[in-house]
Structure 1
Amino acid sequence: MIKRILFSAVLVTALTHITAAQTKLKPGIWRGALITASAHQIPFNFEVSNTAGKQELAIINNTEHFKVTSLSARGDSMFIQMPLFDSEFRLKQDGDRLTGHYIKHLGDRDVLMNFTATAGTPWRFFETPAKTNYNVSGRWSAIIGDSTGRDTTVGEFKQAGQRVTGTFLTTTGDYRFLDGTVSGDSLYLSCFDGGHAFLFTAKISDNNTLTDGKFFSGLTGTDVWAAVRDENAKLPDAYSLSALKPGYKKLAFSFKDINGKQVSLSDDRFKNKVVIVQIMGSWCPNCMDETAYMVNYYKKYRPKGVEVIGLAYERTNDFARSQRTLAQLKNRFDIPYPLLITGYTSNKEETAKSLPALTKVVGFPTTIIIDKKGDVRKIHTGFSGPGTGEHYTAFISEFEKLTDDLLAER
């Protein structure tokens, strides 16, 4: 009887190891595709690797390799938990193919997108794009949307061979690392960062004109766009979009941090300091880019007399859920400054109500710069992240010079 039990235990263990082996992903480059409600594919690539006996993957968008380490298998099922944005994949593995769903958890519902992926597939849109005579490298004045909701943006693209990388800059941030190709007379660009899924297509009428543009965002988002080459295209000053109401010079707030401790701007730790207030959310990819920068900024400037506070506006006003999503952000970037749970959602009108001194909140992130006397000196809307290249480095230079000037004041 004992031998039979031991044999059964060994057999179960062996079968478990076989099952685990069957659910291991093939190392190398995969092609994934999210399927929109209109049956369009939003493609991206990711690389699977084995590290210290565990599998992890990196989502590839241009130069960004977004690391994902929470992969688990059960039978022929694969579960991938994204490290940010409260989203995940639930998939079935069949050899070198994955099928299933990408699930985005919103405040009041879950949104599911069909998903497929194939191993050993390094191309994004076409294995062999059609030959082209066009080059879209340069700066473009682009309009996304129709007459009822137009957003004037600046497109910046780099084309090497037929591969195209770049982004669109807007008044509230950028579209991060777009990656794609020119095939024949058409442009294709996409991005997936765990939070947002974008697909841009357009006809290249000539080297100065993009027409018949289609923009797909997530499961159901659709819009039109067009662009003309314009090396002088620029956006409004990001410091001009939000301000204090007449009669206000200072900001006041008191919210709980992620540990439940009440934190106020009037606390002693912020007195006689230059204070940066970051209006953000764990669901926001541009906020992720700003946070990555702000962590290093804080380490550099805290010894000089700077404090940073993150004000989080989540998808829900549920405190426990906000704690969980913000803890993911804090752990991902090892954030050393306080993150406060405001209890208000990311609805911009509701966000503005939480800070009655502001005229409005135009977008996420919004950054408020306060001098050593406690007066608000600047309000910056949006963030041009590393996907914008020189605009990112220009912002850092400008922002840190402003900090140095404020620190030098008596």
Structure 2
Amino acid sequence: LATAGGDLPFLFRVEREAGPQKSKPSDRSFKVRLQDGETWVESVAEVRGDSLYWPFPVFESVLVAAVSTLGDSLNGYWYKTKYDTGSAVPFRAHRGGQYKFASRSTRLPDEVGGLWSGDLGPGTTALLPLIQKGPELSGTVRTPYGDYRYLTGLMDGDSLWMSGMDGGSAYLLRGRLEENGTLQGMIYSAKGPGRPWTMERDSNAVLPDPYGMAELRGAERPLTFQLRDINTDTLVRPGPPARATVIQMLGTWCPNCLDETEYLASIYPDLASQGVQVIGLGFERTHQPTKAIQNLRKLQARYSVPYPLVHAGKPDSLSILTVIPQLVKLKAFPTTILLDSTGRIRYVHTGFDGPATGPAFDLQKKKFQQKILELLGNSIN
């Protein structure tokens, strides 16, 4: 991808779908596997005319690229949709690439593995946990509101190069180890001018407690709403007779929301067996309710979501206040609200540490389970 900071590389594999051997490429679909950290995310693409059409799972984004005559390169655009308006990022790819970045330095890579803490642009505290094996780097950027998912790359002498692309977001992280021991550089998304960052080594650095960031008013009142399930059209309500309720505020446009959805879907059978209700409130970046429901259904199918999902409006203050009037201001998606057996808000968790954060992800799961046990222990049902 072409960004203001230069090329943002990512790796993917294209394989033919099974089918009649005599079929033309234009009549065939392809399996595409996008590298996302140590995993490969599979989707399906197809050739339309002379172009590859590759829609990404769940996200409202698609990669459209012309196939070269020899079939060894692609040139086109990555299209993203936000509030029904598209944006395009130039894209090109070549067959045979195994590495995202090439080493140019004649010196050994500096050692930067470990935890770094600092600012990601003005007013944004961030952590940069890095794992280094020789020149190879992996890690992510953590903020109080979530993480930048899987970033991989290399240390080339004193220069840091990392990138990540998941179909919904894409980041290029460039930096240098300065003589004073700090890491300094720029981070670029697919669009925009980029932001400066500075980090210092700090093995004890922590982010604010995600359970202490939300501000509530009228929390003594039970949370009440009724919204229709996107599939059954039945009314979904929080609170009794459930012993506890998990309210997930999400959007299909939000990568960390997908991480949380996958986690909640995996533990839902255990939660349900203990009388815990889970409701997903979808706040979609579209003015079309029908399209919003389609997006949520794609999410539901992708992660086999067993709990009810409802369309709660757009991710703006009016929609949020209408559904959750006790929440003074939503600071991040996802935000997860835990209700006791009477329907009152007991805990609010801001943001989500996804699998890319490693130990932070594991600690978050442990604390969540502890909160659930506390609610069940105090249940009057």
Partner SS for 1:244: coil
Matches within 5 A, 1:140-289: 140-146=116-122, 150-206=123-179, 208-211=181-184, 213-246=185-218, 248-259=220-231, 261-265=233-237, 270-289=240-259
- SS at structure 1 position matched to 2:33: strand
Residue of structure 2 equivalent to 1:10 = none
User: Matched residues in 1 for 2:15 and 2:37: separation?
Assistant: 18
2:110 is matched with: 134
Q: Is 1:322 paired with 2:292?
A: yes
> Residues 17 and 31 of structure 2 are in contact (CA less than 8 Å); yes or no, is this contact kept in structure 1?
yes
Do 1:276 and 1:307's aligned partners in 2 also have CA atoms closer than 8 Å? yes
2:38 paired residue among 63, 72, 82: 63
Aligned partner of 2:67 in structure 1 is 93
8 Å CA contact retained: 2:5, 2:188:
no
- How big is the shift at 1:163? 0.7
Which letter does structure 1 place at the counterpart of 2:95? Answer: A
- The CA deviation at 1:378 is 0.5
AA aligned to 2:241 is K
* Cα distance between partner residues in 2 of 1:275 and 1:247: 15
CA contact (8 A) 2:140 2:148 kept: yes
Q: What is the CA distance between 1:127 and its match in structure 2?
A: 6.0
Inter-partner Cα distance in structure 1 for 2:236 and 2:316: 23
Kindly indicate whether the alpha-carbon contact (under 8 Å) linking 2:119 and 2:197 is maintained by their aligned counterparts in 1: yes
Structure 2 residues not aligned, in runs of 5+ = 20-28
Show the counterpart of 2:56. Answer: 82
Change in 2 beyond 3 A, CA 1:130/1:407:
farther
Which residue pairs with 1:292 in the alignment?
A: 262
SS of residue matched to 2:312: strand
Give the Å deviation of 1:351.
Answer: 2.5
Q: In structure 1, what is the Cα distance between the partners aligned to 2:113 and 2:5? A: 29
Cα drift, residue 304 of structure 1: 1.5
CA deviation vs aligned residue, 1:367-410 (integer Å, no higher than 9, x gap): 00111222211000011110000111111112112212322333
In 2, Cα distance between the equivalents of 1:404 and 1:320?
Answer: 38
CA distance in 2, matches of 1:407, 1:354: 25
Give 1:42's aligned residue: 8
User: Which residue identity does 2:48 align to in structure 1?
Assistant: R
Q: Distance in 2 between matches of 1:403 and 1:39?
A: 44
Matched, 1:399 2:368: yes
Q: Is the 8 A contact 1:173 1:382 kept in 2?
A: yes
- Relative distance call for 1:320 and 1:221 in structure 2 (3 A) is farther
Q: Distance in 2 between matches of 1:266 and 1:203?
A: 50
Residue 307 of structure 1 is matched in structure 2 by: 277
Give 3-state SS (helix, strand or coil) of 1:358's partner.
coil
Distance 1:266 1:55, change over 3 A: closer
Q: Cα 1:377–1:159, aligned 2, differ >3 Å: closer, same or farther?
A: same
Distance 1:367 1:333 in 2: 18
How many aligned positions are there?
A: 368
How far is 1:75 from its partner? 2.9
The question of whether the paired residues in 1 share the 8 Å contact of 2:131 and 2:139 is answered with yes
Q: Is the 8 A contact 2:127 2:142 kept in 1?
A: yes
Q: Deviations over 1:304-324 (max 9, x none)?
A: 111110001100242101011
Moved more, 390-399 or 238-247: 238-247
Check if 1:372 corresponds to 2:341. yes
CA distance in 2, matches of 1:262, 1:244: 29
Matches within 5 A, 1:334-349: 334-343=304-313, 345-348=314-317
Secondary structure at the counterpart of residue 32 of structure 2: strand
Matches of 1:130 and 1:320 in 2, distance apart? 56
> Which secondary structure does the structure 2 equivalent of 1:406 belong to?
helix
Select 2:92's aligned residue among 116, 120, 145.
116
**Amino acid aligned to 1:174:** D
The answer on whether the counterparts of 1:47 and 1:57 sit within 8 Å (CA) in structure 2 is yes
Equivalent residue of 1:323, what SS? Answer: helix
- Could you tell me how far 1:45 is from its partner in structure 2? 0.7
The one-letter code matched in structure 2 to 1:102 is W
Q: TM-score, normalised by structure 1?
A: 0.85
- Distance in 2 between residues matched to 1:287 and 1:310, nearest whole Å: 10
Aligned to 1:106: 82
Deviations along 1:258-314, one digit per CA (max 9) or x if unpaired, are 1372524258xx523311000000100000000000001112221111111000110
C-alpha distance in structure 2 between counterparts of 1:98 and 1:283, whole Å = 26
C-alpha spacing 1:129/1:311, structure 2 compared with 1 (3 Å): farther
Residue number in structure 1 paired with 2:331: 362
| Structure 1 residue 327: Cα displacement | 1.3
1:129–1:115 distance in 2 versus 1, CA, 3 Å: farther
Give the TM-score taking structure 2 as reference length: 0.91
Give SS of 1:126's match. coil
Letter in 1 for 2:246: I
How far apart, CA to CA, are the structure 2 residues paired with 1:116 and 1:323?
Answer: 33
Name whichever of 276-285 and 126-135 sits farther off.
126-135
Task: Determine the C-alpha separation between the residues in 2 that align with 1:39 and 1:266.
Answer: 46
399-408 vs 276-285, which moves further: 399-408
Whether 1:385 and 2:323 are equivalent positions in the alignment is: no
- Higher Cα Rg: structure 1 or 2? 1
Paired with 1:166 and 1:349, the residues of 2 have a C-alpha distance of 36
Q: Measure the CA separation in 1 of the matches of 2:219 and 2:279.
A: 24
CA deviation vs aligned residue, 1:175-224 (integer Å, no higher than 9, x gap): 1111111112110111100000111101111483112x111112225211
CA 1:93–1:174: 2 relative to 1, 3 Å: same
Q: 1:164 to 1:278 in 2, by over 3 A?
A: same
